[in-house]
Each structure stands twice: as C-alpha cells, then as structure tokens.
Structure 1
C-alpha cells in the first residue's frame, strides 16, 4: 500500500489508488477474457455461426432448443454460483481466484469443441420435434452446457474485479476510459486474424472458415494466448473493499436474493440492459454494407470508421463525469441516440446518410462505459445499508435475466423482417429488392429507436450522485474504524 493510501487525512473517495501498471494489467487481462468471448461467439449455437451451421450442419430448430435448455440450466446454476462467489474468502481476493478456476476450463472447452469428429454427423442419436440430432450435435451440446457454467462466471468475476479495484468513482471512470479501448485490442486481433489465418491452413486455402482444420489449428492457440493475458489481472491487480480488519464475507442466500431484489439500482441497470439487448438486434451496418454499398473498399472504410467512432467518447468520459455526472451523461447519450433514429426512419433509401447516423450513435455510445462504472457505486450503497457485498449476485442475475430476454427477443427481429417482405423462402435474397430493403431499414430503425428510448428511461430514476457516493465511502470507512479501530482497504 502506498503512502498516499495509508494517509489518515485522505478519504478513500478522494484519493487515487491505481498506477499505470495496474490499469494496464486490468486492461490486458480483460482483453484476454474478451478474446475468449470472441471465440465463444464464433462457436455459439446460432444460425449465423459457420462452425455450427455449415461445418457441423446443426439445424436452427435444434440450436434454438439447445439454447433454451442451457438458459433453463442457468436458472438453476445462477443462484448457486452467485452465493459461492459472494462468500469467497481467498488470499488472492474474492474474485481473482475465479480467473483461474473458471479460466482454465473455459480455455480447454473452447479448444476441444472443434475436435468433435465430423464423422459423427452421420450418426443419428434421436429426434427432437421432427429434427434429427446427430452424435456430433449431442457432444457439442454437452460441451456447450459445460461452457455455460464456466464462461459466464469468468466474465462476472472480471467485471466485479473492475468494480472493486478502487473505491474512488472518478478514478474508476478514468481507468475505464483507457480500459475500454485497450481491452478491445486482442479480441479485434482474434476476430480479424481468424478469417485471415484460416486461409493459410491446408484446407482453408479453398474453404476458409468452413474448414474444420482452421478451427482445430487456430482456436486452441487463440484460447491459450487469451488465457495468458488474463494472468495480468490475476497477478497485478488488487481488490480494494472498505471493510473492518478480519472481515469474512458471509452472505445468506435467501437474504442475498431479497437484498438484490430490493435494490432499485439493480433493476434500473437491468431493465435498461433488457431494452439494450433488443436494440442491438436492429443493427443495420452489415446489411447496408452488403446490400447497399456492395463494395469491399467502401465496406472496409465504413467498418473502420464506425468501429473507432466510440474512442473519443471513451477518452472523454472521465472529464464528462467530473463535469456533469454519470446520470446526466447516460441521459444525454440515450436520448441523443434516440433522436438520431428519426432521420433514419424518414430516409431509409440513403445508405451513406444511414451510416453517418450510425457513426454519430456510436460516437455517443463511447460515453456508455458509465454502465460499467455505476454498479460499483450502487454496490457501495448496498454495503452501507446491509453490510453485504453482492457483486456476484448482481453480475450473475443480471446475466441470467439478459439471457432469458435474448431468447425471447430473438423472435422479434424475424417477425419484423417477415413483415417487411422477407418471406423466409428466398431469405436475404429479397434484400436486393429496393422496396423490401428500404422497408427493412425503416422498420428495424423503428424497433431500435423505441428500444433505445426505453433503454434510457430507467436512468431518470438513478438518484445516486457522485457527491452522495463520496459520502457513502466516508461512512463505510468510519464504520470500519469504529468496529476494529482500523480501516482496511483490501
């Protein structure tokens, strides 16, 4: 602990704890975890996933049923893992052990899925709703269930580490300004590098990502390198929670559920996230590139510009939070993005104009990293009220609710597409027809605009200001001193 941390004249809410090394370590560690997340996306049970749909020939119905079963399993495992996490007491901290405990099995599982033999596709096991399930599909389903136990826990552990890395909310904002950029570097390498490297494999020279050899060669390498990056967080980051000396986490399961359920800040963040998940389903960028621009060069330029539009907002977030506060910034970002959907609805036939509007929305979204900062303030308030730290409950139940919403919202997009003229027979080929393409752009923008509006509304009720949070930290420190005569930031 530095001399600045030890000084009795500095309250934790006012002083800084992080040096550049710890900020970089958490950013690199998060980058590794996001890299594992990119690999998880590339083998997810989704009709757009090449590995599952084209290589292993799994039908959309089978994958939807598998996803539904995994979501149901999450209903059972989420309370258990939440309770275990919030009652963890380890010399490494409360969350860092899970970077190892969950990181290793996640890495192994992501690496071995491509090694399920293709010959097993020809071996039927049984039939689900008139859809045959092969032995390969069954084995992948089992591995996906195991990943659903490890990967979400790993993600929550890393997110929670960021919530307790400093009790200073402004310092946390500064950290996330850089973290949000740095943590996206390695997953970008994975998402861009895999398609390119797949061409370099023997079979990949002609079949690219449809070659199982591409996955068997590059997935284990990317997975191991991603896990190695997570070790930066494990070895170089600290968990700083204001507690009395000798504090041992002990959260009763039922009481933890009741406490979280009565925390209005949890519901504000979660309800906003629900509408945010629906909004993401209406992203038009890829369709505009493919069916309107029809140019590799134009697509590359638009992808680069739109992908980097958030950077200025990320870098300015700390200054804007200090100047206006997190609540005001979230409302400005949300309602500003909502207004940008209006011209998109009015002029769906102008692809460049639509991309400009999306660029401006992405620029505003850069300030959205406040979403990663605000739960820590709410959890400090929870600790002052009940004496409990509920990062595990918060993270796991938030994930569970969003997973259920994703399952249901997956029906909204297809319904809108059918109403716009995509008949499901000729599929996306209908997008070549101008009137249908414009209808899709307009109707998806309407859906996203409505979702964006309701995504923002909950933050009107967020009434925990930066000044109030500083006072909460002061009170927590005073309580810790009164209990043991010493304040410990562990």
Structure 2
C-alpha cells in the first residue's frame, strides 16, 4: 500500500508543470476560458511598450518638472493653463464618451485606438525637440502658447492610445477569474516598463550632467536624451492590437444606441463607480506629500541619483509580489476586504515616512517604507478588476454595456473637484515660503559638493513644508478607507451577473434569428447549471479533514508523502464544497432572474412594455401619454434591481415624447425600419482594391450612422421589446437550449479540424528541420 503513496511535488516539478501548461495552451485557451497565453504575453509586451513610450508629456501643474522647474513657468501661469485645460475638457470629454459607447467597428470598442501608437510617437518627438528656450528668449508668452498647443495635441492622441490599451483588459474576456489571472500575468510584464524607467531616469541624470545632478535633472538636454529612446518604442505597442480580440457579452443583434444623457444617468446611479471615484478624488489630500523621496534626493542630496534609481527599482519590484498574490487574495478575502486592509496600512506608512525623513537613518527608512508601500499596492490588478466588475454590474442592471460615460463623469466631476482643490497645495507651499518663482528655496544646501564643505541654505523651507504635507496626507489616508465599507459586489455575485447577461443575450439573439455560437454555448450552460443546483442545500466545508491531515506524522519520507497526499485530498474536498456552495448561490440568483416577471413589479412592468410594443416601431410614439401615465404607477419594487428598473421604465416613457419630435427631423419621408444585418453586410463587402476599400468604408459609415439614429429614436420601443422577449424566453427557457448539442458538436468539429491542420503543419516543420540538419551533417562529413 505504501508504494502507491504519491510523492510530493518539488519546486522544480511545479515549475515544469507551469511551463508545460504555458506551452500546451500557448495558441489555444485553457478549457472553459477564452484567452491563450500567446495573446496574454503579446498584449502585455505591447502594454509595457506603451507605458514607456508615453512617459513624456507636457503638463501644467504646480511644480511640474518640465514646464515649471525646467522652462520657468510660475505657479500662476500653471494654474491659469491648468484651468483652461479643464474648461476644454468639458467640451471634448462628452464627445469621447459618446464615441466609446456608440462608435461601431469590427475591431471592437477599444482595440481600434491602439493604432494611434505611430501618430503618438511622431507628435511626442516633435514636442521633445521644439526649441522652447530659444522661443522663450524671443517672448516668454509665445513659448507658453507653443507648449500649450503642442501639449494639448500630444495629450489628445496619447490619451486615446492609453484608453485603447488599458481598457482592453475589461473586454478581453467576460470570465472574471480569468480576467483577474490575466491582470496578474499582464501586470508583471507591463510593469517592466516602470521598473526599467525607475533605474533609467535617475541614471540618465548622471549620464547627462555628471556630478551636478540638480542642474542636469532640469534641462532640455536631459529630457531629449532620456525620453527620445523611450518614445521610439511606440511601434511595439501595436502588438496589443494585432494579437488581441475583444470578447464582450453583447447580443449579436443589438443595435440600440444609448444616448449620452442616458449613459450619464445610468452611471450616476452606479454606487460602485462613486466608491472608486471618491478614492481617487481624495488624492489631493493623501498625495499631498508628493514624491518626498525624490525631493530628498534632488533637493536635500541624501544620496546619488544612481543609488536612488537602484533602490527605487527594488521598491517597484516589490509590487510584483502583490500582483502574483492578487488573484489568490481576491479569491480568499474578496476585493472589498483587501482595499480596506490596504488603505488602513497606508495610514501607518504615511506616519512612518513623516517620522523617517529627518532621521539620520533617512535613506534605509525611506527605502523600507517605500518597499512596504509598493508591496501592499495591488491596485494594478484589483482596481482594474473592480472596473470590470462595475461595468458588468451596470450591464446587468440596465441591459446596456456602458464604458465611455464612466470616464466622462469621472473627468467632469474630477475636474470640478480639481478646480477647487488645485489651489490647495500651492496655497500651503506659499504659506510656507515657496511660491513657485524660485525653486532654490527647496535646496537644503548651497553649492552642494559630495566631498568637502557643505553649506546649509539659510532660505531653505523644504523640511517645514514637508511637515505640513505629511499631516495632510495622514488625514487623506484616513478618509480613503471610509468609502470601501459600502462596496457590495462579491466574487460570486459578479459571476452570477455575467451568467444572467449571457442568458439575456441568447434570448435576444434567438428572437432576431442571429447567434454568436460562443455566447450561446455559455448561456445554455448557465441555464443547465441553474437547473442543476437550484433548491440544493449548501454543504459545510470539511475543514476538519484538512486540520487532521496537517497533524499526520512526518518522521519518515513515506509519512511525509502520506501527509502531503492527505493535505491535497482535503484541499480538493474543500474546493469542491466551495464550488458547490457557489453554484447554489448563483443558481438562486439566476432563477430569481428567470422568475422576475412573476412578482408584483414584474407583472406591471410587462404590462407597460407590451403596451409600448403594441404600437410597433412605426407608431409606438403615439402612445406616449398613455405609456407615461402607466409608468409612473409602477410599484416601488422590493429589490435593488426592481427599483432601478422602475426608474429606467419611467425615463423610457419620457423618452417617447422625444422620439416623437425626432422622427420628422430624421425621417421626413416616413419612418424606415433598420436591419441589424446591414452593418454585417457592409463589413463583408470586398476590400481587395483601393476603390473597393473606399466603398466598403463608406458603406460601413452609412450603416453605422443609420443604426445609431434608428437606435436613438426607437430606444424606448427596443428596450420594451427586449423585455417582452425576455418574458417569452423565460417562459420557455429550456427550449432555448435545444440546439446546444448541435452547436457544441459543430464547434468541436471545427476545433478538431483546426487542430489537425496545426499538427500537420507542425509535423511538416519538424520533418523539414530534420532534413536540413541531416543535409548539414552530410556536407560536414564530405569535408
């Protein structure tokens, strides 16, 4: 019996298994997932290149290293331009948000913007090499105007590029666990960018300026020598375009266009959005201390730039462990608990920094505190995961996928808050003796020399200023904890919402006689799992089994193997029990959705939607008064969802009055139906020649415009029609899954065919390689 005991896996075996898994699923995703490792790695490399290539930017903020400390703009000039930028944002941010949510193109919602990598590189190189100081010698305000115009153009292009790359993580897979895993893997790779930067930038100070670090840091020579090579990495960003695919759970037949006011209204009611935004808007308090370590290096000369770069890199690498552990921590503790814990620890870190920076041991203490701060900073994974969950939750609540409006409201409200708070730090600095006109008051020493006499600067205000800023940062860190106590999306709840979205999608597509095979399979499986687990009681986790296994003897090697096998078996039993309980909870959630029209609210909502649909797309607007009177009489609703749906139905009823005004404007010759296949047909037009590509592009634009207008006008009708279709689908839910086996077999047949082609190609390449090796051996033998 003892001979059959499995041997514990060594670390080498675990590494070997991991490598084998990566090789096995390099070109195809793991079972039940969507994204292959090749796509993850290439996407991440492109992301890392983007982070390096977009390092340089022309910003207008107090103490900005380029415009203030290098080119001599004062605090007043910075604040004036910063406010102008904010005002301009009020005009183009709504347009950007509308484009993201409504601009249809086969490349996807975000992927298309990654193609801006090359224009971004060109405008950044222009921004770097313009002769600002020569222009300044002619006229200081002319230089400011050039900085402003070039900076805004560069910022506009760069922002779209960054939007495209960073938001791909939200749409690359609808599976939240896979998304978290991809975030963890990607963050390790793309954070190589900041890691390289944290060594490279301080090192370049010494390369450009030699021993006089302070002067070299704030010269255009340093900026051009440092950022030109980084900017030239931009073409590598295109790996994130050519290697990826968007995978949104959206009905293939969906053609409604959500108006900008509707998107704003929906986002404004999303509690998770406000929780996350409050955390960010509070940064003016928590980050009041700024880059204290950097100021101590370049203003107090506590260490060389090169040493600072090495130590700062080690601190940044501490983030690696947070990224690696994030998926496991999220699964075990949940995002809410992690955010609360992280923000509480942040309070003590800021207090420690405040007591460390004037200590004789300032260098090791700042190193340790910054390392800990980076170690607990798992925001790269968790914050992006929260963003994705927030969007899934919004789609579940209102039936529409919204992305752009989040950025709009965040930017708008953030700009209003920023307008008031941007004067706070300059006011503090001015009170402490630094008004931005003379940065020498921040230097601790006069004519600092590494060896020899060091003369203190009698006008120095750095330490007094930092004392006040640390106190403000502690207060900000305390405030940051509070919003996260109201976060209420669990990991299981998120999975349940995605499954409901899949079921809704296949019902809507079925009614339109269109189908996305992947979403259909997932929707059918969600229905089958709900049927299997609904009404089943959860089980108690067998934790005692694990405790007993851990107490087994370990005197001999065989006993160690027996113990290891028992622990593995106990952990598998706990995992199976957790999966069972999770499926029971999800089944309850899904079945509540399937029975939503049997409640008092559901019955009345269905009655309202049937009234709208009875008018047809040609005449529904004629029922506006009757629909509105029925909408305001809807029951208040007992659940969060019903309360949200009631608000939505009342708003849709009001929108019918607007539809009545828009029809004569856009359809003066009579209302025309719109077929969602028109865009598909336009996209499938030939594109071999330049003229064909031009015609195809024009046809796609025409179809897209027609669908947007039709969707905007008929939005209340289409929304009501979707609700009635859901009712009909839910009433006969299991007939929806009748084609599951047929579609599954078709997909498997296609996958098997592709696998055979891949294996044949691999065998051909192997044979060719062996043949060439044999030929070389024969040639060497003849010699």
Check conservation: 2:63, 2:69, Cα contact below 8 A.
no
Going from structure 1 to structure 2, the CA distance change for 1:356 and 1:186 (only over 3 Å counts) comes to closer
What does residue range 306-321 of structure 1 map to in structure 2 within 5 Å?
306-321=315-330
Partner residue, 1:450: 475
Going from structure 1 to structure 2, the CA distance change for 1:355 and 1:436 (only over 3 Å counts) comes to farther
Match among 99, 115, 123 for residue 109 of structure 1? 123
Residue 295 (1) aligns with residue 303 (2): yes
CA distance in 1, matches of 2:49, 2:307: 30
What does residue range 166-177 of structure 1 map to in structure 2 within 5 Å?
166-177=173-184
Query: What are the Cα deviations for residues 8-60 of structure 1, in whole angstroms up to 9, with x where unaligned?
Result: xx9xxxx32222212112212222222233112xx323464554346644444
CA distance in 2, matches of 1:309, 1:139: 40
Going from structure 1 to structure 2, the CA distance change for 1:362 and 1:326 (only over 3 Å counts) comes to same
Residue 194 of structure 1 and its aligned partner are, at CA, apart by 5.9
What does residue range 141-220 of structure 1 map to in structure 2 within 5 Å?
141-189=148-196, 192-193=199-200, 212=220, 219-220=227-228
CA distance in 2, matches of 1:5, 1:475: 26
CA distance in 2, matches of 1:488, 1:463: 33
What does residue range 47-58 of structure 1 map to in structure 2 within 5 Å?
48-49=63-64, 51-53=66-68, 56-58=71-73
CA distance in 2, matches of 1:403, 1:261: 16
CA distance in 2, matches of 1:139, 1:489: 51
Partner residue, 2:406: 394
Match among 331, 338, 342 for residue 347 of structure 2? 338
Check conservation: 1:95, 1:157, Cα contact below 8 A.
yes
Match among 48, 55, 78 for residue 93 of structure 2? 78
Partner residue, 1:32: 49
Residue 340 of structure 1 and its aligned partner are, at CA, apart by 3.2
Going from structure 1 to structure 2, the CA distance change for 1:107 and 1:301 (only over 3 Å counts) comes to closer
Partner residue, 1:44: 59
Residue 437 of structure 1 and its aligned partner are, at CA, apart by 5.4
Q: What is the DSSP-based 3-state SS (H/G/I as helix, E as strand, rest coil) of the residue aligned with 1:167?
A: coil
Residue 440 of structure 1 and its aligned partner are, at CA, apart by 3.9
Residue 22 (1) aligns with residue 72 (2): no
Partner residue, 2:336: 327
Going from structure 1 to structure 2, the CA distance change for 1:451 and 1:249 (only over 3 Å counts) comes to farther
Partner residue, 1:133: 141
What does residue range 353-368 of structure 1 map to in structure 2 within 5 Å?
353-366=365-378
Residue 69 of structure 1 and its aligned partner are, at CA, apart by 0.7
Going from structure 1 to structure 2, the CA distance change for 1:356 and 1:444 (only over 3 Å counts) comes to farther
Query: What are the Cα deviations for residues 336-387 of structure 1, in whole angstroms up to 9, with x where unaligned?
Result: 2123334445666432445433332222113563111101111111111212
CA distance in 2, matches of 1:5, 1:262: 39
Match among 65, 77, 87 for residue 62 of structure 1? 77
Task: Judge which range, 306-315 or 396-405, deviates more.
Answer: 396-405
CA distance in 1, matches of 2:69, 2:496: 56
CA distance in 2, matches of 1:31, 1:218: 17
Check conservation: 1:345, 1:443, Cα contact below 8 A.
no
Q: What is the DSSP-based 3-state SS (H/G/I as helix, E as strand, rest coil) of the residue aligned with 2:318?
A: coil
Check conservation: 1:30, 1:233, Cα contact below 8 A.
yes
Query: What are the Cα deviations for residues 169-210 of structure 1, in whole angstroms up to 9, with x where unaligned?
Result: 12222222222232122354456546756887899x998566
Task: Judge which range, 392-401 or 458-467, deviates more.
Answer: 392-401
Going from structure 1 to structure 2, the CA distance change for 1:46 and 1:221 (only over 3 Å counts) comes to same
Residue 315 of structure 1 and its aligned partner are, at CA, apart by 1.1
Going from structure 1 to structure 2, the CA distance change for 1:331 and 1:212 (only over 3 Å counts) comes to closer
Partner residue, 2:494: 469
Check conservation: 2:52, 2:194, Cα contact below 8 A.
yes
Going from structure 1 to structure 2, the CA distance change for 1:85 and 1:378 (only over 3 Å counts) comes to same
Partner residue, 2:272: 265
Partner residue, 1:128: none
Going from structure 1 to structure 2, the CA distance change for 1:459 and 1:343 (only over 3 Å counts) comes to same
Check conservation: 1:346, 1:442, Cα contact below 8 A.
no
Match among 368, 377, 385 for residue 397 of structure 2? 385
Check conservation: 2:195, 2:317, Cα contact below 8 A.
no
Check conservation: 2:199, 2:310, Cα contact below 8 A.
no
Q: How many residues are paired up?
A: 470
Match among 266, 286, 296 for residue 294 of structure 2? 286
TM-score (norm 1): 0.84
CA distance in 2, matches of 1:369, 1:440: 34
Match among 234, 247, 254 for residue 241 of structure 2? 234
Residue 97 (1) aligns with residue 112 (2): yes
CA distance in 2, matches of 1:213, 1:34: 22
Partner residue, 1:129: none
Residue 483 (1) aligns with residue 508 (2): yes
Residue 475 of structure 1 and its aligned partner are, at CA, apart by 0.5
Q: What is the DSSP-based 3-state SS (H/G/I as helix, E as strand, rest coil) of the residue aligned with 1:171?
A: helix
Going from structure 1 to structure 2, the CA distance change for 1:53 and 1:378 (only over 3 Å counts) comes to closer
CA distance in 2, matches of 1:30, 1:274: 25
* Bigger Rg, structure 1 or 2: 2
Structure 2: runs of 5+ lacking an equivalent: 1-24, 446-455, 520-783
TM-score (norm 2): 0.54
CA distance in 2, matches of 1:21, 1:453: 42
Residue 62 of structure 1 and its aligned partner are, at CA, apart by 2.5
